[in-house]
Amino acid sequence: MTRMLFLPGAGASASFWRPVADLLDPGQERHFFAWPGLGNEPHDPNVRGLNDLVSMVLAELDGPSDLIAQSLGGLVALRVALSTPQKVRRLVLTATSAGVPVRDLGGIDWRRDYRREYPDAASWITAVNQTSEDLSTELVSIDVPSLLIWGNCDPISPAFVGERLHQLLPRSDLRIVLGGGHDLAQTHAKDVAALIADHLR
């Protein structure tokens, strides 16, 4: 059975995806990631950057899996899909704020607000070289059915970012949720769950 792996953003909590997951097929095996040292999650000295988050996900891939990711988690999911495409059956990216030049596409810089909300988060998360990786030239090689879900009211990752990823990912479908912000997976859980369920079928 295909597993569902849920990847949060820089808020890092494993509970982020619960509102959506509770509306999906309860019979499918699932795993909820939390990112050590980010948000309010406990620190782990072995997690020192984005590469370690990618390694965490790769370690859970024991067969074809569906990756469902938000914001920073989307960058992790894209890196995983580039590394082991044979183990990724479907991709779902919501409000992904990385992988393409987000600032050039109208996204605001979230780092100062993030540091104010999570003062104890690991220092690496607000380092530009960690979260602003441009994978544009590589994304065209991801031959995985990909659902892109964006809100039209997201200042961090505006819909232009979703449109750019849609242009780059050859098997992608872009859906815009009206009134959705960066946390649309929580505020519009029913809409997001319906789109994901249809994509995974």
Give the Å distances, CA to CA, from 108 to 73, 133, 158, 168.
18, 16, 9, 22
The mean pLDDT value for 186-194 works out to 97
Q: How many structural domains does the chain have?
A: 1
Mean pLDDT on 115-143: 91
pTM of the prediction?
A: 0.96
Give all strands of the β-sheet with 172-177 in edge-to-edge order: 30-32, 3-7, 65-70, 88-94, 146-151, 172-177
Domain with 32, as residue range(s), is 3-200
* 105-117 pLDDT per residue, tens: 999 999 999 999 9
State residue 178's pLDDT score. Answer: 97
Cβ–Cβ < 8 Å for 188, 177: yes
State percent of the chain over pLDDT 70: 100
Q: Kindly tell me the burial class for residue 163, based on how many C-beta atoms sit within 10 Å of its own C-beta (0-12, 13-18, 19 or more).
A: middle
Q: Supply the CATH number for residue 118's domain.
A: 3.40.50.1820
Handedness of CA 152, 158, 163, 166 (dihedral sign): negative
Stronger pLDDT, 53 or 27, i.e. the higher one = 53
pLDDT tens per residue, range 53-88 = 999 999 999 888 999 999 999 999 999 999 999 999
